[in-house]
Amino acid sequence: MKNHYRVVIVGGGVVGASVAYHLTKFGWSDVAIVERDVLTAGSSWHAAGGFHALNADPNIAALQAYTIDLLTEVGAESGINIGMHMTGGISVASAPARWEWLQSAYRTFQSLGIDDVELIGPDEIRRRCPIISTEGIIGGMWSDREGHIDPSAVVHAYARAAKNRGADIVEHTKVESLHQRADGQWEVRTDKGVILAEHVVNAGGLWAKQVGRMAGVDLPVSPMEHHYLVTEAIPELVGMAGEIPLIVDLEGFTYTRQEQKGLLMGIYERKYQHWNMDGAPWDFGVELIQEDLGRIEDELSLGFQRFPCLNTAGVKRWVNGAFTFSPDGNPLVGPVRGLRNYWVACGVMAGFLQGGGVGKSLAEWMIGGEPQADIYGMDIARYGEFASNREYIRQTTGQFYSRRFVMSYPNEQLPAGRTLKTPGAYEGMTAAGCRWGAGWGLEQPLYFAPDGFEETPSLKRSNAFDLIGEEARAARTAAGLLDITAFSRYEVGGPGAAGWLDGIFACNLPKPGRATLAPMLGENGKLKGDLTLLNWGDGRYWIMGSYYLRQWHMRWFETHAAPGVTVRDISDAVGGFALVGPKAREILQGLTHQDLSAKAMPFMACQMLDIGLIRARVARMSVTGETGYEINCGALEHATLRKLLLAVGAGHGLREIGFNAVLSLRLEKSFGIWSREFTQGYTPGETGMDRFIGWDKPAFIGRDAALAERATASNRVLVTLEIAATDADASGYEPIWQAGKVVGFVTSGGYGHTVGKSLAMAMVDRAVANPGSRLSTHIVGQEVAATVIVGSPYDPAGRAMRS
């Protein structure tokens, strides 16, 4: 052990070893893994070792595919036999809705270029796995690249390959505290002495909570118990040539693979059990937890029905080990806001499946400033301080674990962590029939419904379809009122504000009293935000965007901080409503003495208005394509503002609407949103955001890369599609086909209630992007025609919102 390293990785499990491997592979060799016990101690040593392709987040699925491909390479490079058994795998469905879901997932894989999957029927499932009972099974999804490995061997393979490139592996050395010096270096204080490091990576696994608190970070993670069993030899397998595939029984809550001539069966029990929520005891190592068979008896019964040979097999051993989970089950990766060069790589409950992708992405981030892939689904910044609350962690991690194999629907709202934050008018809106969703801890309106209405979860159009249509049509024909508390708001001030904003954003700054759409780029020229920038004319600017990106954007702003500039997140101090529709001006004019005519307050103007008793900051803009006003008020004035607007609007057909109607309205205008049409994986040229760039500006972040893209037309572009759908609409990541070839994928979709068409936005090859191009896609597994149409099928000239 040296006394100084460029990077110290705390934790010697599969994730820490993968980070070390990738750092050294990419050129940083001055790296040390510091492990309290021995490599693999904690969770890695007792992992079941299975790997599979399926993940609900397509970006994470792609990184899983990378990890699977990497495993063989690491084994060969290190000279360690990792026990790779590429048996293939089958996810089986025994419920019609699950079969529809598998068909949709199959098409998503095709969108991602993962082409070693296929749908198979019960007979073929039985042929490939002779010991399974196919009773009740409708079908399954086969993947070539599934199987299992030797967990301990994989960790040692990553570690040895890293060591061969110069990394140190320091075992039996406990990190006791972390302290950042004034020069930015970290003092890593261990029971063997102090190590100085430029960077610290928390890959602490079961101890990630404690390692986080050493740096003042309370991570939203918790260890949970997880069971599997291993049988003695089973006669049916003894005489069988080869191995059976990995089987995931989605309705049975089990996964099963061959272990020598026996079976390993793991259970995601619905009666979950947390274990040492504040982190594992320091003296816990290569140990297990006492099994609790009573808690898993229902799932075991289903597993034994699916594999009848288990009923006569002897159980060689039970494993009840702890794994660390985040609230949504995805890893926590990246730099921690406010802590220079403190990185996390933890909460990776599927370490052998995701560890390679996590290590690669973090190493790219540390060395190059950005990960190559869009890994927001793993980014620590997807959570705020609210998620560190112990009860929030208990509820959400428990919910994820117990629903690991439970069917999920896009229109389903889950109860864990609810109700945490509410807009000021929450009680009044609830009484009016509001149905709520949640994002970043905040309740957000989805739609309004009569008493007693219950939405049925569905992959197709739900029974709320007509209610949402009524809201959309009201916004087009009269007026709609949308709660916009769920917008982020950042106030920028100080003598250097204008200069700082001019460098952060690619657009030209708006003049006083004006607003503009504001693309923000990374150094690589890809998008970092599709924000709105408002110049209030009093020396203050606002940046507005998506509420759930608050931590992510503030980390970016603070990383690029400059003297003479203050940036404050005021999102929780401000609420508001968007008033949209042809009657919007008339309604608002009834509440203010100020002139709201198109001449006095034109499109994209912003100013302070007196709305009744409220002093509100109002912007003339619209997410729906109608005449619209975004009215921002103090959080304590939110309920009052709603009452004022509803009272005056009652005679003008004003109707409260939710974000489900906004989805329909924005698709009719071909308006994109972040995480769908705009992500950090896309460029301005691909998304059409290049039209908002101030190309004559001498400098802004990402300018060189954006100019390089401008010089050569993007290979793919966003388009709007009309879909020949009947009872279901596109939602995202469905493949786009032409003559049997994948030429793109859907970014978002839904039904345009006022144009009467199923619509989608899609990223497609430029060669097929011309209006009139006849394509096809798969909606809930069924192929339907898709035609490229001219953008903004509703009011393409934009007269309504500019009137």
Of 651, 683, 717, which residue sits at a domain end? 651
Of 651, 685, 708, which residue sits at a domain end? 651
CA 9 to CA 23: how far, in whole Å? 11
Q: Is 322:179 a contact under the CB 8 Å cutoff? A: no
* pLDDT score, position 108: 87
CA 310 to CA 252: how far, in whole Å? 15
The secondary structure of residue 455, as a DSSP letter, is P
CA 423 to CA 572: how far, in whole Å? 9
Domains contained in the chain, number: 2
User: Between the CA of residue 359 and those of 162, 346, 518, what are the distances in Å?
Assistant: 12, 11, 33
Tell me: do 369 and 494 sit in the same domain: no
Q: Is 176:190 a contact under the CB 8 Å cutoff? A: yes
* pLDDT score, position 560: 97
* pLDDT score, position 54: 67
Among 394, 365, 396, 367, residue whose Cα is nearest residue 378: 365
Tell me: do 352 and 496 sit in the same domain: no
Tell me: do 372 and 495 sit in the same domain: no
Largest CA distance in the chain: 88
Count of alpha carbons within 13 Å of 316, Cβ hemisphere only? 12
Tell me: do 51 and 200 sit in the same domain: yes
Query: What beta strand segments (E) does 355-411 contain?
Result: none
CA 700 to CA 507: how far, in whole Å? 9
CA 131 to CA 185: how far, in whole Å? 57
Classify residue 767: in a domain, yes or no.
Answer: no
- Whole-model pTM: value is 0.96
User: Between the CA of residue 168 and those of 163, 194, 670, 691, what are the distances in Å?
Assistant: 6, 15, 53, 50
Question: Along the chain (803 residues), what's the average pLDDT of each consecutive run of 10 residues?
Answer: 96 98 98 97 94 75 88 96 96 94 90 89 98 98 94 97 98 98 97 98 97 98 97 95 95 96 95 95 94 95 97 96 96 97 96 94 97 94 97 98 92 96 98 98 98 96 98 98 98 98 98 98 97 97 98 98 98 98 98 97 98 98 97 98 98 98 98 97 97 97 97 94 97 95 97 98 98 97 96 96 94
Residue 726 CA, distance from chain mean position: 29
Tell me: do 89 and 227 sit in the same domain: yes
CA 196 to CA 179: how far, in whole Å? 10
Classify residue 777: in a domain, yes or no.
Answer: no
Question: Residues 37, 39, 41, 45: what is their CA dihedral angle, to the nearest 10 degrees?
Answer: -160
Using left for φ > 0, alpha for ψ between -120 and 50, and beta otherwise, residue 422 falls in beta
CATH code assigned at 532? 3.30.1360.120
* pLDDT score, position 46: 94
Q: Which two tokens stand for residue 175?
A: 């990190």
Q: Is 153:80 a contact under the CB 8 Å cutoff? A: yes
Among 399, 403, 402, residue whose Cα is nearest residue 391: 399
Amino acid at 319: V
Domain enclosing residue 16, as ranges = 4-334+337-376
Among 676, 668, 588, residue whose Cα is nearest residue 630: 588
Q: Is 113:271 a contact under the CB 8 Å cutoff? A: no
Query: What beta strand segments (E) does 58-216 contain?
Result: 89-93, 117-120, 139-143, 147-148, 168-170, 175-180, 186-190, 193-202
The secondary structure of residue 376, as a DSSP letter, is G
* pLDDT score, position 1: 87
User: Between the CA of residue 445 and those of 272, 481, 668, what are the distances in Å?
Assistant: 31, 11, 20
Residue 142 CA, distance from chain mean position: 25
Q: Which residue reads 């403190």 in tokens?
A: 342
pLDDT tens for 572-598 read: 999 999 999 999 999 999 999 999 999
Tell me: do 92 and 220 sit in the same domain: yes
Q: Is 668:793 a contact under the CB 8 Å cutoff? A: yes
Q: Which residue reads 């990630």 in tokens?
A: 208
Classify residue 423: in a domain, yes or no.
Answer: no
Classify residue 433: in a domain, yes or no.
Answer: no
Of 617, 651, 685, which residue sits at a domain end? 651
CA 562 to CA 500: how far, in whole Å? 7
CA 339 to CA 348: how far, in whole Å? 21
CA 369 to CA 524: how far, in whole Å? 9
Residue 461 CA, distance from chain mean position: 23
CATH code assigned at 318? 3.50.50.60
Using left for φ > 0, alpha for ψ between -120 and 50, and beta otherwise, residue 4 falls in beta
Q: 487-493 and 566-569: which strand pairing?
A: antiparallel
Tell me: do 370 and 511 sit in the same domain: no
User: Between the CA of residue 778 and those of 98, 100, 782, what are the distances in Å?
Assistant: 16, 11, 5
Q: Which residues contact 69 (CB under 8 A, 6 or more apart)?
A: 145
Tell me: do 491 and 356 sit in the same domain: no
CA 485 to CA 424: how far, in whole Å? 9
Among 323, 318, 147, 300, residue whose Cα is nearest residue 227: 318
Tell me: do 35 and 177 sit in the same domain: yes
* pLDDT score, position 579: 98
Q: Is 327:383 a contact under the CB 8 Å cutoff? A: yes
Q: Which helix (H) or strand (E) holds 719?
A: strand 716-723
Classify residue 534: in a domain, yes or no.
Answer: yes
Among 538, 465, 548, 506, residue whose Cα is nearest residue 756: 465
Tell me: do 210 and 79 sit in the same domain: yes
Q: Phi and psi for 165 in degrees, rounded to 5?
A: -100, 5
Classify residue 621: in a domain, yes or no.
Answer: yes
Q: Which residue reads 């796995």 in tokens?
A: 129
